[in-house]
């Protein structure tokens, strides 16, 4: 038989229904109630261990960002879906509000956000524009609006010159009047060293931010705002040490930098201001720039969420929980496992 005839015979046999092995297999029908894992553009960062409180409450603390690192702020309960799966389930199933109480709270009272303002008060600043810097810093404080009544935002102010350590103007406080009063104490005689220990200051304030988070469970996150008009001149620590401090800092620490004038090193300030860097040329732009930074700090502080819900699962040691965030066309999810042995009714949020 000719090769061409053999080819036609094989093709005919292949297309015969009786020879097509897949013809009698029905396509898989996906359960529409099953949640499917998909890559999204909302990024969860879990900031504490999942907490289990009997009879069946599950609590998780997390931060939301987009893939570029910008905070996703002020989402409400309607932006979140809950899915659970037991070891016996075929798929992740949605949990309705009728099956389980839940609460998704941005920055609840038991958590606060700390802003650390770090000001370059070396000789050039104090001599040329200390009054403008004071007004800009006050505008930042007024925008963040710390208050002992709400106790959700506190502010500490530090400054540096050429000294080996940064100086404290006021420790983190919820009292806006005290903070503004401390700013008024800035004067031309404050610094005794005209050099600029920029790298040392960045290293120290970053370590301090990480210590605040590690030693105070009530702090949700820390924002660092650095202002300078120059480069590192003191050479007390290396650039690499300062870079490493920022790179290795907690994900709950955000960094903002403002550089004034032509003597700044933009590469450094972009590295130190990984969440936002603003370079300006005119002193008159300080107030507007600090006010805009305050809005970024507000968005950052409102991108932390405390999630609680009462699970309807009553047994199993390896159950799966999915929290899905949805904002318009953006989605993302956080996955956890939990032990439900001993779970029962009576859970309250």
Instruction: Look up the CATH number of the domain holding residue 80.
Output: 2.60.40
Please give the Cα distance from 149 to 192 (Å, whole number): 38
Please give the Cα distance from 86 to 94 (Å, whole number): 12
Picking from 32, 46, 30, the residue whose alpha carbon sits closest to that of residue 333 is: 46
Residue 172 lies in a domain: yes
Q: How much is the pTM?
A: 0.81
Residue 36, Cβ neighbours under 10 Å: how many?
7
Residue 266 lies in a domain: yes
Per-10-residue mean pLDDT of the chain, 349 residues long, equals: 47 42 42 76 91 95 90 92 83 84 70 93 91 96 92 94 97 97 93 94 98 86 96 96 97 94 95 96 95 92 90 92 94 95 93
Q: Are residues 135 and 213 in the same domain?
A: yes
Burial 123-141 (b: 16+ CB within 10 A, else e): bbbbeebbebbbebbbbbb
Residue 19 lies in a domain: no
Q: Are residues 120 and 70 in the same domain?
A: no
Q: Are residues 96 and 121 in the same domain?
A: no
Angle of CA points 72, 33, 41, to nearest 5°: 20
Q: Are residues 254 and 274 in the same domain?
A: yes
Q: Are residues 93 and 208 in the same domain?
A: no
Class of residue 33 by CB neighbours under 10 A (exposed 0-12, middle 13-18, buried 19+): exposed
Residue 20 lies in a domain: no
Q: Are residues 124 and 196 in the same domain?
A: yes
Instruction: Look up the CATH number of the domain holding residue 126.
Output: 3.40.50.410
Residue 196 lies in a domain: yes
Total of domains in the chain = 2
Residue 255 lies in a domain: yes
Q: What is the per-residue pLDDT for 28?
A: 41
Please give the Cα distance from 73 to 42 (Å, whole number): 11
- Tell me the torsion sign for CA atoms 227, 275, 180, 164: negative
Residue 56: phi, psi to the nearest 5? -165, 30
Residue 25 lies in a domain: no
Residue 283 lies in a domain: yes
Q: What is the per-residue pLDDT for 26?
A: 42
Residue 312 structural domain: 35-107+304-338
Q: Are residues 144 and 255 in the same domain?
A: yes
Q: Are residues 180 and 280 in the same domain?
A: yes
Take residue 280 and report the two structure tokens written for it. Answer: 């300006």
Please give the Cα distance from 347 to 194 (Å, whole number): 61
CA atoms within 13 A on the CB side of 12: 6
- Tell me the torsion sign for CA atoms 53, 96, 85, 323: negative
Q: Are residues 152 and 97 in the same domain?
A: no
Q: Are residues 186 and 140 in the same domain?
A: yes
Q: Are residues 296 and 186 in the same domain?
A: yes
Q: Are residues 210 and 238 in the same domain?
A: yes
């Amino acid at each position: 038989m000719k090769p061409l005839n053999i080819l036609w015979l094989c093709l005919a046999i292949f297309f015969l229904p009786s020879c097509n092995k897949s013809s009698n297999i029905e396509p898989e029908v996906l359960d529409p109630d099953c949640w499917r894992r998909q890559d999204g553009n909302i990024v969860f960062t879990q900031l504490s261990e999942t907490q289990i409180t009997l009879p069946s409450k599950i609590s998780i603390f997390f931060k939301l960002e987009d893939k570029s690192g910008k905070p996703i702020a002020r989402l409400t309960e309607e932006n979140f879906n809950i899915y659970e799966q037991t070891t016996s389930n075929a798929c992740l199933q949605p949990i309705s509000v009728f099956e389980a109480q839940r609460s998704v709270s941005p920055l609840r009272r038991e958590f606060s956000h700390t802003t650390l303002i770090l000001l370059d008060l070396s000789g050039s600043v104090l001599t040329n524009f200390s009054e403008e810097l004071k007004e800009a810093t006050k505008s930042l404080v007024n925008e963040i609006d710390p208050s002992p009544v709400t106790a959700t935002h506190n502010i500490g102010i530090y400054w540096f010159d050429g000294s080996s350590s940064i100086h404290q103007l006021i420790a983190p406080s919820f009292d806006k009047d005290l903070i503004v009063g401390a700013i008024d104490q800035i004067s031309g005689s404050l610094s005794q060293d005209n050099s600029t220990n920029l790298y040392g200051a960045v290293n120290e304030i970053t370590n301090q931010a990480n210590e605040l988070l590690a030693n105070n469970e009530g702090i949700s996150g820390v924002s660092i705002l650095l202002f300078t008009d120059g480069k590192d001149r003191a050479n007390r620590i290396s650039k690499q040490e300062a870079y490493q401090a920022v790179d290795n800092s907690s994900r709950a620490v955000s960094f903002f930098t403002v550089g004034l004038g032509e003597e700044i090193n933009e590469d450094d300030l972009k590295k130190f201001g990984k969440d936002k860097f603003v370079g300006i040329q005119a002193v008159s732009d300080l107030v507007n720039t600090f006010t805009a930074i305050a809005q970024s700090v507000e968005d950052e502080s409102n991108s932390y969420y405390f999630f609680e819900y009462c699970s309807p699962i009553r047994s199993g040691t390896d159950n799966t929980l999915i929290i899905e965030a949805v904002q318009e066309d953006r989605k993302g999810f956080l996955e956890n496992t939990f032990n439900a042995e001993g779970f029962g009714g009576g859970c309250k949020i």
